[in-house]
Structure 1
Amino acid sequence: MEKRTVPLIKHPAMIAVSKRMLRFLSLFCICFGLLLAGCSGAGAERTKIIRIGYIKDSTLNLVKANQNLTKRLKKAKTVIQWIQYPDDSAIFAAMNKGRVDFAAVGDAVPVFQHADKPKIDYLAAEPPNPNAQGIFVRKNSPIHSLKDLRKKKIGYERFSNQHFFLAQMLKTAHLSLTDIHSVYITPEQGLYQLKSGSIDALAVGEPYQSKALSSGFMKLAAQSSFQSNRDVYVVNDSIYRKDKTAVDRIMAAIQQADGTIQTNPHTAAALLKEKTDVSHLQWLSVFDDKLFGTLSFFPGMVREQQQRVDDLVSLKLIKKRYNIGNYILSSARQQ
């Protein structure tokens, strides 16, 4: 017997219910999707990133290794992104392009390179270390005084403390940077080129000064009281306003690292040896040459930085004078 298929007769009420259900499900899916997107967006907004620029052979490696800081910032929905650069001037150039939010650089570096946008402010500074830099030559070099640098190839990091320092030293010998052959080079490359004879002299600061001394290079006798040679901490103004708590925690970790260097130098040197190309003994030499201990910017430091501007204008290393007060955090101005 042939089977017959009985067609399903849809009642009008059933059709109406099905259409309402379909619309409800469609609306539910749309709302649920928007809710998920909203949650994802909110989470992305809550998680902030602070990009810290640093050089490989920096004491900031003590902060980088601080797992407690990483955990505390993670709980606060902030992540640190560490970005390595070959020297301080490269770090600050990246800050001017908006690629770095926080850094430690030599105090002359911002004076050379300040740009109007993005706004970069001074946050704090290390103590002055005028003797933690020098001009170095090979042991068998015919260069015995600053006057002997005339027409010689001198390596140094452009727009750095040593750029400023070299110009000041040359001035005392009635010379200028136009009387030498400048070779713009990173400190690490400079040590190799000095050893090979590609350059005649090299101006560097710590930790490369200790590396130069341990490599047998000779330091030219010269007064170094013209420049305080501080490390300063600079921050993107908008980042500081958006995530001041995180920046303050980073500064607290820097102060903790400074404390470790002061109270347990061998512990600090052992850790830094593992993270850098500087030996344990070389780090101990650095700690002997330098003072550590971070301070907030105060009026005396502002006047000191303003003098940097005036000196660089006088040396014709920057074109015009500007007001350093425009680059001090409002909280520092009120102190």
Structure 2
Amino acid sequence: MRTITLRRSLVALFAAAISFGAITQAQAASQDKSVLRIGYQKYGTLVLLKAKGSLEKRLAEQGVEVKWTEFPGGPQLLEGLNVGSIDFGVTGETPPVFAQAAGADLLYVAHEPPAPTSEAILVPKDSPLKSVAELKGKKVALNKGSNVHYLLVRALEDAGLKYSDVQPVYLPPADARAAFERGSVDAWVIWDPFQAAAEQQLQARTLRDGTGLVDNHQFYLATKPYAQKNPEVISALIEEIRAVGEDSKADPDKVTEQVAPLLGLSKEITSIAVKRQGYGAQFITPDVIVAQQKIADTFTDLKLIPKKLSIADVIWTPPAKVAQAAQ
């Protein structure tokens, strides 16, 4: 009963939107290239792209207006994508799996290089816990269906524990931090910049980050109708994301100066998050599909999604000339 309830609660985050499927399809089908609606989170290259303003200038030449919407996490962003409020967005590895399981009409467009240190299992500075194995029976806060969900599963497996050996407490980042500070949870699985902020402001200790466990790719996703109808817009968008990533690798201090006020965080905290991030967006490759399929199969085996998925079925294929130029 617990497994069925848990599975339903996870998939329900996206499935509630599926009842509007016919409306969503109509909205997406009528959406032309005059507007590109982008969903972003408080981290990552899209924040940098928004601040730079280069995308707006480039797409204006094609008659395309860019609109931005911020989301607290990947699951919420993909729910927005599913109901037709955005056309494109970025999330970690796990949210697209749950969204696909719930029937979202999405396509993987591109990915960033691995960034395993930009997510971690944190414990309070005075916590007696010294290893993941000691989490058995403990309360662990996380954003359900997010990238850190898979990190927790893998970390527990590596420590000889099952997912059912801990008490997951599903909370979005702001609420999870409050619970972490109150001491009402024993650990918190979180990503940057929330991770860096907790480390610096609360002196939270890292019990385990993603090193040796997960790739922690960031994925760029689009609604299937928009990507298929507007390949030139999507291609230009990925080119701009890649260019911002190259700038970031070349001068992380400049990026920190630019982004810190946008995040409302100190330069010290922002710098940590910026330097741990992966940069260099690329279209989806076969090895990335294999890795993402492993994540999907893991959640299927845990009965957290109801059926086996095929990641290869939801990969966007860029125009031939664009794919060749990216190689």
Q: TM-score, normalised by structure 2?
A: 0.82
Structure 1 runs (4+) greater than 6 angstroms displaced: 44-47, 332-335
Q: How does 1:130-279 map to 2 (within 5 A)?
A: 130-215=116-201, 216-221=203-208, 224-279=211-266
User: 1:230 deviation in Å?
Assistant: 0.4
SS at match of 1:318: coil
Count of equivalent residues: 292
- 1:296-318 alpha-carbon deviations (Å, 9 max, x no partner): 11111111211222222233322
1:228 and 1:217 mapped to 2: Cα distance?
23
CA positional deviation for 1:115: 4.8
Q: Give how far 1:136 is off.
A: 0.6
Cα distance, 1:72–1:183 mapped onto 2, change above 3 Å: same
| 1:14-47 Cα shifts (integer Å, max 9, x gaps) | xxxxxxxxxxxxxxxxxxxxxxxxxxxxxx9976
> 1:298–1:332: 8 Å Cα contact kept in structure 2?
no
Deviation at 1:223, TM superposition (A): 6.6
Residue identity opposite 1:247 in structure 2: I
- Taking structure 1 as reference, are residues 68 and 169 closer, same or farther at Cα in structure 2, changes over 3 Å only? closer
Aligned to 2:6: none
2:180·2:188 contact (CA, 8 Å) conserved in 1? yes
1:121 and 2:107 correspond = yes
**Equivalent residue number for residue 280 of structure 1:** 267
What does residue 29 of structure 1 align with?
none
Secondary structure at 1:131 match in 2: helix
Q: Using the alignment, how far apart are the partners of 2:77 and 2:70 within structure 1?
A: 8
Q: CA deviation at 1:209?
A: 2.1
One-letter code aligned to 1:82? W
Root mean square deviation of aligned Cα? 2.4
Matches of residues 49-60 of structure 1 in structure 2 within 5 Å? 49-60=35-46
The residue aligned with 1:301 is: 288
**CA deviations over 1:185-214 (Å, ceiling 9, x no partner):** 122332232122122210012222211221
Tell me which residue corresponds to 1:106: 92
Rounded Cα–Cα distance in structure 2 between residues aligned with 1:258 and 1:330: 22
Equivalent position amino acid for 1:161 in 2:
N
Q: Deviations over 1:208-245 (max 9, x none)?
A: 22112212001114673222110011111211222222
Q: For residue 91 of structure 1, what is the aligned residue in structure 2?
A: 77
Distance in 2, Cα, partners of 1:63 & 1:137: 33
- Higher RCO (C-alpha 8 Å, min separation 6): 2
Deviation at 1:116, TM superposition (A): 7.0
Distance 1:308 1:115, change over 3 A: closer
Identity of aligned residues (%): 27
**Aligned counterparts of 1:164 and 1:45: Cα–Cα separation in 2:** 33
Q: Radius of gyration: which is bigger?
A: 1
Normalised TM-score (structure 1): 0.80
What secondary structure sits across from 1:170 in the alignment?
Answer: helix
Q: Does 1:75 align with 2:61?
A: yes
Q: Could you tell me how far apart the structure 1 residues matched to 2:252 and 2:76 are? A: 29
